[in-house]
């Protein structure tokens, strides 16, 4: 009886706090993504915006480790019986990736653009092995600082090329 | 020391190439952090102890790579990539590698 009550308590705690934490995290991600929406970034190797003068180019990284709650882990286990999309892990990976990318952007205030962004998933503990459902995300790219070619110059270059 | 993960250092010319340099760290789980992670696993959310551990070992790996490049006489590392592998249960390696070059 007592183990059963313990199990139910864990389930309830996981459900209530996990849901609350996830919603709060998604709100914070959405707000910060709005803040960084003006920073051009791409996973291309070439410059996204032509530069007039480049002062500095450096490697920037952002990483995060996020774990899933008890309730969602149970849902995922149940899901693995019938198969199909596991929504509880999808949201976990989604918010971990977005958080890692945001942390990378927060490293480079004043940058004109970030190019060649790569996202790497690493694991300190095997998720399947010991039942700890957590992911580690590492996002990295090259931040370019300096002065972008302004629009007037860009336009005149285009028109002269056309002529 | 310029470090980028593109083929060149934007705005600079590469004048000399020294070859591949790399750095790695193997990190293990910490008992205290592991207990905290166990508690966090009920509620879900970020495991800050592990995030710190990941950051520290990544910086350490980059520093080792930098030291190797400096020894060769390079002043920049281009085309940097990260890679991870699990060596044993409870331990993981973070490996960073790139090409040491000299720029103007």
CATH C-level class of A2-162: alpha beta
Q: What are phi and psi of B50, to 5 degrees?
A: -75, -35
Q: What is the pLDDT of residue A132?
A: 56
Strands B14-28 and B2-3: unpaired
Q: What is the pLDDT of residue A128?
A: 41
Cβ contact, residue pair A54, B11, below 8 Å: yes
**Partner residues linked to B17 by β-bridges:** B101
Which residues of chain B does A74 touch, with a Cβ-Cβ cutoff of 8 Å?
none
Average confidence (pLDDT) over A117-130: 66
Cβ contact, residue pair A124, B42, below 8 Å: no
Sheet holding B2-3, edge to edge: B2-3, B76-88, B91-103, B14-28
Task: Please answer whether residues B98 and B8 qualify as being in contact, where contact means their C-beta atoms are separated by less than 8 angstroms.
Answer: no
Work out the angle at residue A52's Cα, subtended by the Cα atoms of residues A49 and A57, and round it to the nearest 5 degrees.
70
Average confidence (pLDDT) over A82-108: 91
Average confidence (pLDDT) over A5-25: 88
CA distances from B84 to A116, A149, A152, B41, B49 (A): 19, 38, 46, 23, 19
Residues of B near A (CB-CB distance < 8 A)?
2-7, 9-12, 27, 29, 37-38, 40-48, 50-51, 53-55, 58, 62, 80-84, 86, 89-92, 94
Cβ contact, residue pair A138, B47, below 8 Å: no
Whether B41 has a pLDDT exceeding 80, the answer reads no
Distance from CA of A125 to the nearest CA of B (A): 5
Residue A147: both structure tokens together: 């002065």
Residue A120: both structure tokens together: 């790497």
Q: What is the pLDDT of residue A89?
A: 86
CATH superfamily of B2-103: Hypothetical protein apc22750. Chain B (3.30.110.70)
Task: State the average pLDDT for chain A.
Answer: 85
Mutate to test the interface with A, among B11, B44, B80, B90 (most CBs of A within 10 A): B44
Residue A86: both structure tokens together: 């596991």
| Per-domain boundaries in chain B | 2-103
Q: What is the pLDDT of residue A123?
A: 63
Cβ density class A57-94: b for 16+ within 10 Å, e for less: bbbbbbbbbbbbbbbbbbbbeeeeeeeeebebbeebee
Whether A159 has a pLDDT exceeding 80, the answer reads no
Cβ contact, residue pair B58, A138, below 8 Å: yes
Query: ipTM exceeding 0.90?
Result: no
A:B CB pairs within 8 Å: 139
Distance from CA of A151 to the nearest CA of B (A): 20
d(CA B59, CA B96): 10
Per-residue model confidence as pLDDT tens digits over B64-98: 999 999 999 999 999 999 988 777 766 778 899 99
Residue count (chain B): 104
Average confidence (pLDDT) over B55-67: 93
| Per-domain boundaries in chain A | 2-162
Q: What is the pLDDT of residue A135?
A: 83
Per-residue model confidence as pLDDT tens digits over A23-71: 999 999 999 999 999 899 999 888 888 888 888 899 999 999 888 888 8
């Amino acid at each position: 009886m007592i183990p059963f009550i313990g199990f139910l308590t864990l389930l309830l705690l996981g459900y209530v706090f996990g849901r609350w934490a996830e919603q709060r995290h998604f709100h914070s991600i959405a707000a910060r993504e709005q803040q960084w929406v003006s920073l051009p970034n791409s996973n291309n190797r070439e410059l996204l915006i032509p530069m007039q003068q480049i002062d500095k180019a450096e490697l920037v990284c952002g990483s995060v480790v996020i774990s899933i709650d008890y309730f969602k882990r149970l849902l995922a286990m149940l899901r693995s019986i019938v198969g199909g999309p596991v929504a509880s892990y999808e949201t976990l990976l989604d918010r971990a990736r977005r958080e890692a990318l945001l942390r990378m952007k927060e490293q480079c205030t004043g940058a004109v653009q970030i190019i060649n962004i790569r996202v790497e998933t690493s694991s300190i503990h095997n998720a399947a092995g010991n039942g700890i459902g957590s992911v580690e995300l590492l996002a990295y790219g090259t931040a370019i600082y300096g002065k972008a070619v302004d629009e007037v110059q860009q336009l005149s270059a285009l028109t002269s090329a056309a002529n | 020391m310029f470090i980028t993960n593109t083929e060149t250092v934007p705005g600079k010319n590469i004048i000399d190439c020294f070859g591949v340099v790399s750095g790695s760290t193997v990190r293990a789980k910490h008992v205290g952090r592991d207990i905290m992670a166990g508690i966090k696993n009920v509620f879900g959310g970020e495991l800050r102890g592990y995030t710190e551990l990941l950051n520290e070992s990544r910086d350490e790996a980059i520093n080792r790579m930098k030291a190797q490049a400096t020894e060769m006489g390079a002043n920049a590392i281009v085309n940097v990539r990260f890679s991870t592998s699990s060596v044993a249960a409870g331990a993981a390696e973070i490996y960073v590698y790139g090409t040491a070059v000299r720029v103007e």
